Amino acid sequence: MSAAVLTPDLCIVGAGSGGLSVAAGAAQLGASVVLVEGGEMGGDCLNFGCVPSKALLSAGARGLAWEAALAHVREAIAAIAPHDSQARFEGLGVTVLRGWARFTGPRELAVGETRIRPRRVVIATGSSPAAPPVPGLETVPHLTNETLFEPRPRPDRLLILGGGPIGIEMALAHRRLGCAVTVIEAGRALGRDDPEAAAVVLEALRAEGVEIRERTSVARAETTATGVALIDDTGARHEGDALLVAAGRKPNLDRLDLPAAGIEAGPAGVTVDRGLRSSNARVYAIGDAAGGPQFTHVAGWHGGLVVRSALFRLPVRTDRSPIPRVTYANPELAQVGLTEAEAREAHGDRLEVIREAFTGNDRAVTEGETAGFLKLMAVKGRPVGVTIVGRGAGDLILPWVLAMSAGLKLTALTGMIAPYPTRGEISKRAAGSYFTPRLFGSPWPKRVVRLLSKLP
C-alpha cells in the first residue's frame, strides 16, 4: 500500500506561537493547511516559557506556598491550552499531524509514512535551551526552562547560570517563593538593556536578597553530595542544591534535513531575506527558527506577514517595525527601538534624550512606588527609542510602540488627553518636555504673545 500524499496550500512545521498564527489565519481565509507538531501543541511559550514563567512570578508576588505555586502554573497552562489545542485547529479545518517532519526534497516533506507536497512551507520550529561550554556541565544535573516547571521539591539554594531576562525573572520568582538565589553572569546582567534602567531592576532584586555576581566566568561545574557547585575563574565555589541554566537558546532545526531542500542555515537559524523567505523560495522561516529576536510576539508578527506573502503575494518586510521587549521583574523594564547608547551611535548630535522620573508622576506617588523612569530618545521631533523602568512598564510602552510603528511625531502624544492620575501620563509629559525648551527657552513665543496682546 502506497504512503498517503497530501497537497495543501501550506504546510507549517511547528505548532508554537508563530505556526499557530499562520495556521489559524490561513485556514480562516480558505487555504488548505497541514500543521505538523512532534511535541506539545502551543510550543515553548505555552508549555515552558511565557505562560508558566509569568504564572510563577505571579505566584511569588502573591506569597503562595511552593506546591500551590506549581499548581497555579499547571492551572494557567491548562486554562490557555484549549486555544492552542489540536481539536481547535482541526475545527478550523486544519489537518494536524503529530510527528517530526523532515524534508525529502525541495518540494516535499515526510512525517512518518505520510508525504506532503505543499505549495508553500513555513518553518516555525522555535528554539531550545543552549548549554554554555562550561567543563563538567554536561554531567551535572541541571534545570532549563523545559524542566523548571515540572513538579519537584523546592530548592533551598538555587544557582542560576545566566543573568538575562529569563535568569532575572526566575531569580525573583524563586526568591519570593522562599529560595536563596545566586545569579552568575559572565558579563553585565541584563546586558542588552540600558545600564541605568537595568541598575534599577538589579538594585531591587538585591534588596530582596538575590545575590547577583556580574562579570564572573564559570570555570567548571561539579556534582556535590548535596547538589551542584559552580567554580568561577577566581577559584570561588558557589554551591546550591539545584542549578538553572539560562544562558541562551538554539534553533530547533536538526530534524528537518534542510540541505535536502536546498535551505541555507547557520547557528542562529534559517537564513532568510527581509520577507522571511529562505534560499528555497517556496519555504519561509519565522520566529526563533529564523534567527531573529526570540520573543513570542515576534513569532506571531512573523506569522501575520507570512500569511500576507504566501496567500496574497503581497510584499512584506521585517525591517520596518520596532520590536518591543520586556523583562518582567519588579520593577519591570521595557524597551522599544534604540537604547540611549545605540541612539547616540546612530544619530550623534541630532539626538535629544529626555528623562522623566516616576517621582514626578502623581499616581506613582500616591501608590508609594516611585522607582524608575522613562527615557525618550528623539530625533527631529520623532521617537527613535524609549526605555521605561518601573511598575507596569510593559503596559506603559504600548503607546510608544504604536507611535514608532506608525511613524508618528511627538505632537501626537502631547495632543492626547491622558486620564489623571495614571502612570501613563509620564509618556505625555516626556513628549511635552521635548518641546519645553523650544517653547519657553526661545524669545520668539514671548514676542508673539506681546504682539498679539496689542491687537483688539
96 touches 262 (CB < 8 A): no
Using DSSP, state whether 217 is helix, strand or coil.
Answer: coil
Q: Give the chain's length.
A: 456
| Cα–Cα dist 59/41, whole Å | 24
What is the dihedral angle through the alpha carbons of 43, 48, 50, 51, rounded to the nearest 10 degrees? 90
| Cα–Cα dist 27/152, whole Å | 40
Q: Cell for 29?
A: 481565509
Sign for the pseudo-dihedral over CA of 171, 295, 11, 32: positive
| Cα–Cα dist 151/390, whole Å | 32
| Cα–Cα dist 325/322, whole Å | 10
CATH 3.30.390.30 in the chain: give the residue spans.
Answer: 331-440
The pLDDT of residue 319 is 85
The pLDDT of residue 456 is 78
pLDDT tens-digit map of 368-383: 999 999 999 999 999 9
The pLDDT of residue 450 is 80
What is the dihedral angle through the alpha carbons of 397, 400, 401, 402, rounded to the nearest 10 degrees? 130
Residue 385: in which H helix or E strand, if any?
strand 382-390
- How far is C-alpha 134 from the chain's CA centre? 26
Each residue of 169-199: b (16+ CB within 10 Å) or e? bbbbbbbbbebbbbbbbbeebbeebbeebbe
Using DSSP, state whether 355 is helix, strand or coil.
Answer: strand
pLDDT tens-digit map of 133-151: 999 999 999 999 999 999 9
List beta partners, residue 337: 385
| Stretches in the chain below the pLDDT threshold 50 | 1
Give which of 122, 105, 127 is closest to 254, Cα–Cα. 127
The pLDDT of residue 2 is 59
Which residue spans within 136-290 are E strands per DSSP? 157-161, 180-184, 211-213, 218-223, 228-232, 237-240, 242-245, 249-251, 265-266, 269-270, 283-285
Using DSSP, state whether 333 is helix, strand or coil.
Answer: strand
Q: Is the full-model pTM beyond 0.85?
A: yes
Which residue spans within 89-217 are E strands per DSSP? 95-98, 101-105, 108-111, 114-116, 120-123, 127-129, 157-161, 180-184, 211-213
Residue 13: in which H helix or E strand, if any?
strand 10-13
pLDDT tens-digit map of 215-270: 999 999 999 999 999 999 999 999 999 999 999 999 999 999 999 999 999 999 99
Q: Cα–Cα distances in Å, from 14 out to 98, 130, 286?
A: 10, 19, 10
Neighbours of 47 (CB within 10 A): 21
CATH 3.50.50.60 in the chain: give the residue spans.
Answer: 5-41+85-128+250-312, 137-247
DSSP 8-state secondary structure symbol assigned to residue 390:
E
The pLDDT of residue 306 is 97
Torsion angles phi and psi, residue 146, rounded to 5: -80, -15
Q: Cell for 250?
A: 538554539
Neighbours of 267 (CB within 10 A): 9
Q: Which homologous superfamily is 331-440 in?
A: FAD/NAD-linked reductase, C-terminal dimerisation domain (3.30.390.30)
169 touches 58 (CB < 8 A): no
147 touches 47 (CB < 8 A): no
At the topology level of CATH, where does 5-41+85-128+250-312 sit?
FAD/NAD(P)-binding domain (3.50.50)
- Which CATH code is given to the segment(s) 137-247? 3.50.50.60
The pLDDT of residue 1 is 46
